[in-house]
Amino acid sequence: MIPFSATSLLHTLTPLLLASAEAAEQGGGQSGASLIQTKLATLPMAGMFSLIAFAFLATLIVSKLSTRVGIPAILGVLLLGVIVTPDAAILSPEGAETLHVVSLSMLLFYAGLSSNFTNLRQLLGYGLLLAVGGVMVSSVLFAAGIWVISHGTGSLVPGGVGLPLSVCFLVASCLGSTDAGATLSVLRSVRRLVPPHIKTLVEFESSINDPAAILFLLLVIGLSTQTAGQDVDSIHSIAIQIQTFLKSIGSGIMVGLILTYVAQFILNSVLTSRDQVLVVGMSLAMASYGISTLLGGSGYITAFVTGAFLSNNIYKNPYITPELVENSLEPFNTMMELVVFMLFGLLFDPSKLTSYILPGVLMSLMLMFIARPLSVIVFKPFSSLNQRETALVCWCGLRGAVPLALSYSVIHSLPQISGITAEQARLIGEEVQNLIFVIVVTNLCLQGFSLPKVCRWLGFRELSDAQLAASN
Amino acid sequence: MNLVVGIHEFIWGLLVDWILFVGVYLTLGLDFIPLRLVPHALRLWWAAVRQPPEGEGETGPFLNSMAALGGMIGMGNVTGVAAALVVGGPGVLIWVWIGSLVGFATKFAETLLSTEYRTQQPSGHWSGGPMYYLGQAMPAQLRWFGPLFAVAGALAMFGVGNTLQSQQLAAVLQEGLAVPPLLTGVVMAGLTYLVISGGLRRIGLSSAWLMPLSVCTYVLGCLAMLVPHLADLPEVLATIVQQGLSPRAIASGTILVAISNGIRLGVLSNESGMGTSPIILSVGKPGQPFYQACISMLLSLADVVVCTATALVVLLSGSYLRSQSPVEVVKQAFDWGFPGSHWLLVVAAIPFTFTTFTAFAYYGERCLEYLCGERSNQIYRLLWVALMVIGAVIDLDIIWKSTEVLNALVALPNIIGIVVLSTKIFQETRSLLPPRLHLNLPQA
């Protein structure tokens, strides 16, 4: 047990320790440093430990409270983060960047682990279609919606103008991925109402559409930066973009293959006890991001692919059971998700939020009532679901950690996009971050709050204990 | 023209990667079994040379492997290596090795499946190859991959195995010995027809005369050139490792060029993933899948050896720094080894190219036979030699670029098929493994 607890503690503490160390570095220099921040800077190590411990306990209490109220637990943690620091300058941009990369690759690794293809059986094709096609359809629709809304409400926001179309696409593709954790945490209260195959489908969809959204985002970023200043032979440059894009997926898959083999070798021949599986999992998640990025591939895709290959046991290794993987890594994922949301809350600067509320809420409504349902209904002919079940899937599109993490990637790529100056990039970046925050929060609130009611309203009948047992 | 070149670059830029991925997947999925079987395969082959095994098939292991080797070793092992070194630097060699070693598993898998699904034609001769396993073993909705492979294969062979080779050979001979291209084309076409009209047996016999002689002469010649400069060898090897693997090379990004060029050569030179050489390998005696698959890897091994010999001579001579043209690089390297020996290139070119003509004619013929039956064989042979003459005289660059695109349609169904059938491959290999080899695999 010792290696297990020691490493898990270390790993979960590292981001927060990093955060406090960063704060200590810059604490004095910042003019607008808040009370909490200056206090953080002068805290001794022991004090920092206790603070972090209390922060974690607080997240647990908040998740309990939010589940009681009926909103997803992660939303509570996010808001807790926002409340704790009214000032966002706690981390340097580089520190924030590192944290995003680490947390996002962990989340994707876990998304891969939870994408169990065999559970889904006849719904597999539909699940894939819903995840990949759904991201594209809803992103395109939603991008159009964002463009219309941001131009309609342009005078309200500090920039004074609407977002350029390419930025609308970026924002929309960020928000393409749904969050299984959020959806399932809400569905738990009505688990007798929801048919098990819908639950599996929603979980599968949200794990596959994480990488799908990232890929779509990469493609959009690639295409919108490539058009800069290249008027000749644009087909050629688009072809090169698509080739690079496919190559980065390819190298991601290859590194995933190799790492999966390494993991299986370690699981077979190196491990001395089951507790060490967690260590293997975490090192793999980080290695997959690092090695693949070094070789010019897409690190997030590699993290996802490694997880997916491992959980689906592509090398037919008799030692790897889904239970082993799930039981050892699920607690870790819960921890990671809490850390990520807490951090996003801490990093978010709510001071300019008020002017973005109206456009953000409008966009969120547009996402929930138009983009998501249409993207599900388009693929209805390929599914065996009935009307009610499809309607429920439409409403199960909760957005979570991945869009928040991706918003930072978008902000980083803004300066490279054609026709945007550095000054505009800063303004747009701020707008994008605020909008995504508002959209995610609104979405989590509304859909999370109403999902149990929608379930009852759609008339799903209660499953008996026997049926529940059969499904598990 | 631009469009064809564009499509060509687009597809091949990706396809090499994917062929590599499939190789990595198979190598890992088979727990490196193919690589560990190489000593066993060498013993099998040597035993077969001394006493040919009994069994159903067209030719014995020796003639069979020589015929396939003839198709695999060509001018790519000489000028292709030089071209990669010019672009990617010495570090390329390491990645050629990695690309080739990964290709062992692909070759193993292709031959295993091809032999398992080979079919006896009404006239009594055997036919095998990817089109047979793609058409029979795949899930029902993907069986059309078999005909797709055959159609693309029958057409694509005209490019890579015929007009392109014919044109290069004519150019080399015209420049080196002042032979008019038409003469080269007609003589080669005549000889080729003589050989291919005799079926695989005659192809094997002609390759069995030409290949051991020319390959051994070439490799030994290269080694002889290295002997006086053995003192410089450690330094060159250090440069290869440094430029191919060192952290500084990784940081500077030059390694990506080395990797892409090296892997490309390593993957393409031994045809792994293309599914061509199993067409010959699968019909040999004794016709046991595991046996043929073992033999198939030896060919890849020979291919790597020839590539390495060329690369070492070129690297030690330093000629890759002085010239951009691959032919010039090789010529200068040979002159550095033995002054005035650049005509060796011309001498090597004739047998290397000739055996490629005959082997690829057989590949294309089998593809067409799969589609139209045995009556098409004679037509294909005549077409084949006719295009050889045309290829020697007219520059058909656009045509061979188009057939390269078709080549992608050969490789694509094949590698997809191998991935789809990978579970079957993994299981069968493990069950066919002779227990006395003691490979110490994880227990299932």
pLDDT in tens, A80-134: 888 776 454 556 667 777 777 777 887 788 778 777 776 666 777 788 888 888 8
Q: How confident is the model at residue B363 (pLDDT cuts 50, 70, 90)?
A: very high
When scoring B2, B3, B8, B10 by the number of chain A Cβ atoms within 10 A, the one with the most, hence best to mutate, is B10
- Answer whether A317 sits within 8 Å of B442, measured CB to CB: yes
**C-alpha to C-alpha distance for B196 and B202, rounded to whole angstroms:** 7
What phi and psi, each to the nearest 5 degrees, are found at residue B127? -135, 145
Phi, psi (degrees; rounded to nearest 5) at B41? -65, -40
Which pLDDT score, from 0 to 100, does residue B392 have? Answer: 86
Instruction: Identify residue A356 by its one-letter amino acid code.
Output: Y
* Tens-digit pLDDT profile for residues B34-79: 898 999 999 989 998 888 888 888 888 899 999 999 989 988 888 8
Contact B28 A268 (CB under 8 A): no
Of the ranges A360-364, A384-388, B136-140, which one carries the lowest mean pLDDT score?
Answer: A384-388
Residue A458: band (very low, low, confident or very high) from pLDDT cuts 50, 70, 90 = confident
Please report which confidence band the pLDDT of residue B206 belongs to, taking 50, 70 and 90 as the band edges.
very high
Dig out the tokens for B423 from the structure: 């579970």
- Local confidence band at B438 (pLDDT 50, 70, 90 cut-offs): low
Mean pLDDT is lowest, of A5-9, B23-27, B36-40, B311-315, for A5-9
Contacts of A263 in chain B (CB under 8 A): none
**Which residue from B minimizes the CA distance to A257?**
B25
Band of residue B178 on the pLDDT scale cut at 50, 70, 90: confident
What mean pLDDT is reported for chain B? 86
Tell if the CB–CB gap between B13 and A247 is shorter than 8 Å. yes
Using pLDDT thresholds of 50, 70 and 90, give the confidence band for residue B130. very high
Q: Is the pLDDT of residue A15 over 60?
A: no
Structure-block tokens of residue A12: 């979960």
ipTM for this prediction: 0.74
- The sign one gets for the Cα dihedral B85, B90, B93, B95 is negative
Give CA–CA dist B49/B62, Å, rounded: 6
| Amino acid, single-letter form, for residue B430 | R
Give the per-residue pLDDT at A43: 62
* Residue A307 confidence (pLDDT) above 90: no
Best B28, B31, B415, B431 member to test A by mutation, with max A CBs in 10 Å, is B28
Mean pLDDT of B178-203: 91
- pLDDT exceeding 90 applies to what percent of chain A? 0
Inter-chain residue contact A261 with B18, CB threshold 8 Å = no
Q: At residue B107, does pLDDT exceed 90?
A: yes
DSSP B39-77: HHHHHHHHHHHHSPPPSSSSS-HHHHHHHHHHHH-SGGG
Class of residue A131 by CB neighbours under 10 A (exposed 0-12, middle 13-18, buried 19+): buried
Q: Are B165 and B75 in contact (CB under 8 A)?
A: yes
Asked whether residue A394 carries a pLDDT value surpassing 90, the answer given is: no
Q: Give the DSSP letter string of A42-103.
A: H--HHHHHHHHHHHHHHHHHHHHHHHHHTS-HHHHHHHHHHHH-S--TTS-HHHHHHHHHHH
- Chain B nearest-CA distance from A260, in A, is 9
Q: Tell the burial category of B232 from Cβ atoms under 10 Å away from its Cβ (0-12, 13-18, 19+).
A: middle
Band of pLDDT at residue A9, cut at 50, 70 and 90: very low
Distance (Å) from the C-alpha of residue B264 to the closest C-alpha of chain A?
Answer: 14
The DSSP symbol for A297 reads S
Question: A7 pLDDT band (50/70/90 cuts)?
Answer: very low
**Interchain CB distance below 8 Å, A318 and B444:** yes
The three-point CA angle A326-A330-A335 to 5° equals 170
Query: Which of B4, B21, B35, B412 best tests the A interface by mutation, with the highest count of A CBs <10 A?
Result: B21
- Sign of the CA dihedral A369, A374, A375, A379? positive
Average pLDDT (A147-157) is: 75
Question: At B254, which amino acid appears?
Answer: T
Q: How many CB atoms lie within 10 A of CB A347?
A: 22
Q: Residue B211: CB partners within 8 Å, gap ≥ 6?
A: B66, B69, B70, B73, B351, B355
